[in-house]
Structure 1
Amino acid sequence: MTPSVLPTYNRAPLAFDRGEGTWLIATDGARYLDMGAGIAVNALGHAHPALVAALTEQAGKLWHLSNLYQIPEQVALADALVEKTFADTVFFTNSGTESCELAVKMARKYWYDKGQPDRVNIVTFSGAFHGRSSAGIAAAGSDKMTKGFGPLLPGFIHLPFGTHDALLQNTMDDTIAAILVEPVQGEGGIRPLPAPCLRGLRELCDATGALLIYDEVQCGMGRTGRLFAHEWAEGAAPDIMMVAKGIGGGFPLGAVLATGNAASGMTAGTHGSTYGGNPLACAVGKAVLDIVAEPAFLEEVGRKAGLLRQRLEGLVDSHPEVFETVRGQGLMLGLKCKVTNTDVVHAGYAQRLLTVPAADNVVRLLPPLTITDDEIAEAVARLDAAATALSGKETGQ
């Protein structure tokens, strides 16, 4: 019999009743240490007092208006994002997938209005994940994402991750509208693009006129210790940037940030969203940004990231039969595994620890940015216990 919830996920046999900071409490009362944060969404953990207050206050006033009217909460969040980033303008969406759709439209409309309507191709890279819409799966291009969903949206050129020669050969073509890349691949296995590569992309786009689009849906909003991951590469700001996940702290919210030039084709009537930028979402988003954008907060993320990485490297040394290496940036770290990564995730459930699998046999660690030092120690201790259990199975003990 078909379940009432469409079975597109292989869900863990866990259900949760409430959350407190870095902890989730299951319906049976068991407490789980959450090192996944809703896949990098709950940037400030569960039930953060500032977010609860912002949501509660706004819920008592207005939830939804539609974008037919002025929305002061939307303007306030957009103004703050513009002040703190490269961007001149912001469009609010409900998700990263919707942000991808607009980023693609924006880049193509830019060249159409410049009198070059054939300049539509967008360069993307293997291992990418840009959402599950028609544009998102076409941009990723992998069989896993696209099989059975053809015909695919045309206009994407897929290159191997980190192959500069292939990039140079393709981006000199006058059909290229933009380059789309994640500064740190998330679903692809926590693979950071080094700062020199980001600067090289910026220089290449400047030389060819192509627009540079960053997908910071997973790696943005303080996750790497800067407000956005590309800020680690000085001089590598994008023309367009996709944002979601952490920007709402758990409330559905996304955005596309852009320079005035890149957004010049997006005039009245060219794009819209019924729910995007509603008062409720933007009130919560502004509360998130007010906390995450503080230099002292970001400095703490960096310090805690160093501590977590150090502990994880010790874990790898202690369990060379289970783990291969640690990779990533900030509080967006991955354990490259020698055993099957989902076995590690499931062993974590037995230790009441939540992690997230990714491609390339990686286990993702994406804790709330508010995680404490003691919780970091506890998370690594539980990973150690999970690895010990797996080691015992491997040796038949």
Structure 2
Amino acid sequence: MDSEKVIKRDGEYVLHTYNRNPIVLEKGHGLRAAGPEGQQYLDFTSGIGVNSLGYCDLDWAEAVSEQAHKLQHTSNLYYTAPCGKLAKKLCKRTGMSKVFFGNSGAEANEGAIKAARKYSVDHYRKDRTTVITLVNSFHGRTIATLTATGQEVFHNYFGPFNEGFLYAPAGDIEALEELVDRTTCAVMLELIQGEGGVMALDPDYVQAVRKLCDEKDLVLIVDEVQTGVGRTGTFLCCEHYNLKPDVVTLAKGLGGGLPIGAVLMNEKVAEGMGPGTHGSTFGGNPVVCAGANVVVDRMDQSFLANVNERAVQLRAGIAKLPHVKSISGIGLMVGIEFYDLKAADVLAACREAGLLVLTAKTRLRLLPPLTLSEHDVDMALEILSDVLGKMEPTAPKEQA
């Protein structure tokens, strides 16, 4: 079926809660995607950070296919080997005690909030349930995680919202301390605010948050849905901050292209989550876990070394491009701020030139597959250079 028919059918039957790019993707391999008429794209989005090994990695595809031919689903009423294998690998890799599997980042964050409240109610009082998140954060689109999201733009239309959430400005430890009272049970943060513009938190602030949580016995939740599983050059972004949270959430890149969410907990939080406290019909699905096991196994020292080398190459190249004001993020989670261009206009021009990119607020956002090569980076920089070199300013250039 050609692109026009695919887009027309989608328009007739799919609820359009997304502003889709006007292209159809039919197949892909590595960092390359192709459309029905043979259109070719270099993909620096990886499905918004999901395709960590690129399109159709052979080992990943074979593991998923093999498991699908054996057993596709059982529910959590029974044991399966892929689920337990993945849980062991994640706990050993991160130093956490237990893991709960779900379907998405939003579901993982819901589980983290529940686990934090359970710990606090078990050890303190029934009204000790408030979770403090950061202004400009994004934690999901369910009602609870939407409430946890510290951006008013996402709060339109969907109230009334859940009680028990407050918001502190990122980087302001005094403001956070002022919000903590007898009802506070947890602090939840992203180390790099992805949807908030690819903005990394200051390390001193993060350590101050950890100290505050220790002093008040608050559960520290780190949302690594987008930053985790090698995206920043370490398995967890927490490693850049020398941080030991109480709960870490993962999703996106963990499944390598299939839906998964994970809530990793330390022993003190995990011990309160017994039978009946949480559940997910599809959580720990054997096919998804088979793929995730391949992803985690691939994240060895050599693999992460390439992530870091390509990140240095990419960032150095971007810094030399016209119109670029600043670069944010860590590793292969890259935000680009322009002096005098709109990120959405740059995205559209890149798409026409065969490079797929993203935006985050006013910044262009790059989340390439972690398997990218030196040549892939050179190709992306070449396209970006050509695109930016042809673009006329859309606003007066600011002074540096």
Q: What is the TM-score of this pair, normalised by structure 2?
A: 0.94
After TM superposition, give the deviation of residue 264 of structure 1 in Å.
2.3
- Please tell me whether residue 189 in structure 1 is matched to residue 191 in structure 2: no
Q: State which of 353, 356, 374 in structure 1 corresponds to 2:355.
A: 353
- Please tell me whether residue 328 in structure 1 is matched to residue 329 in structure 2: yes
2:290 corresponds to: 283
Write out per-residue CA displacement over residues 63-84 of structure 1, whole angstroms, 9 at most, x where no aligned residue.
1000001121100100111111
| Distance in 2 of aligned mates of 1:86 and 1:152 | 35
Q: State which of 48, 69, 77 in structure 2 corresponds to 1:60.
A: 69
Letter of the 1:290 counterpart: D
1:385 corresponds to: 386
1:157 corresponds to: 166
Q: 1:41-120 counterparts in 2 under 5 A?
A: 41-120=50-129
Write out per-residue CA displacement over residues 115-135 of structure 1, whole angstroms, 9 at most, x where no aligned residue.
411111111111111010011
Structure 1 residues 104 and 369: CA distance shift in structure 2, 3 A? same
- Please tell me whether residue 269 in structure 1 is matched to residue 276 in structure 2: yes
After TM superposition, give the deviation of residue 212 of structure 1 in Å.
0.3
- Does the CA contact (< 8 Å) of 2:41 and 2:354 recur in 1? yes
| Distance in 2 of aligned mates of 1:272 and 1:224 | 30
- Does the CA contact (< 8 Å) of 1:62 and 1:279 recur in 2? yes
| Distance in 1 of aligned mates of 2:355 and 2:378 | 12
- Which range moves more in the overlay, 106-115 or 8-17? 106-115
- Does the CA contact (< 8 Å) of 1:347 and 1:389 recur in 2? no
- Please tell me whether residue 237 in structure 1 is matched to residue 236 in structure 2: no
| Distance in 2 of aligned mates of 1:83 and 1:233 | 19
After TM superposition, give the deviation of residue 367 of structure 1 in Å.
0.3
1:251 corresponds to: 258
Letter of the 1:38 counterpart: G
- Does the CA contact (< 8 Å) of 2:342 and 2:394 recur in 1? no
1:303 corresponds to: 309
- Does the CA contact (< 8 Å) of 2:138 and 2:150 recur in 1? no
| Distance in 2 of aligned mates of 1:394 and 1:382 | 23
Letter of the 1:264 counterpart: E
1:202 corresponds to: 210
| Distance in 1 of aligned mates of 2:337 and 2:182 | 39
After TM superposition, give the deviation of residue 262 of structure 1 in Å.
1.1
After TM superposition, give the deviation of residue 362 of structure 1 in Å.
0.6
| Distance in 2 of aligned mates of 1:296 and 1:152 | 45
After TM superposition, give the deviation of residue 388 of structure 1 in Å.
2.1
Letter of the 1:170 counterpart: L
| Distance in 1 of aligned mates of 2:302 and 2:296 | 13
Gaps of 5+ in 1: none
- Please tell me whether residue 31 in structure 1 is matched to residue 37 in structure 2: no
Gaps of 5+ in 2: 1-7
| Distance in 2 of aligned mates of 1:204 and 1:143 | 26
Letter of the 1:8 counterpart: T
**Equivalent residue of 1:391, what SS?**
coil
Write out per-residue CA displacement over residues 32-58 of structure 1, whole angstroms, 9 at most, x where no aligned residue.
010111001111100111101111111
**Equivalent residue of 1:136, what SS?**
helix
1:142 corresponds to: 151
- Does the CA contact (< 8 Å) of 1:213 and 1:240 recur in 2? yes
Letter of the 1:155 counterpart: G
Letter of the 2:312 counterpart: G
After TM superposition, give the deviation of residue 393 of structure 1 in Å.
7.8
Identity %: 39
Structure 1 residues 325 and 264: CA distance shift in structure 2, 3 A? same
4+ runs deviating over 6 angstroms:
392-395
Letter of the 1:291 counterpart: R
After TM superposition, give the deviation of residue 392 of structure 1 in Å.
7.5
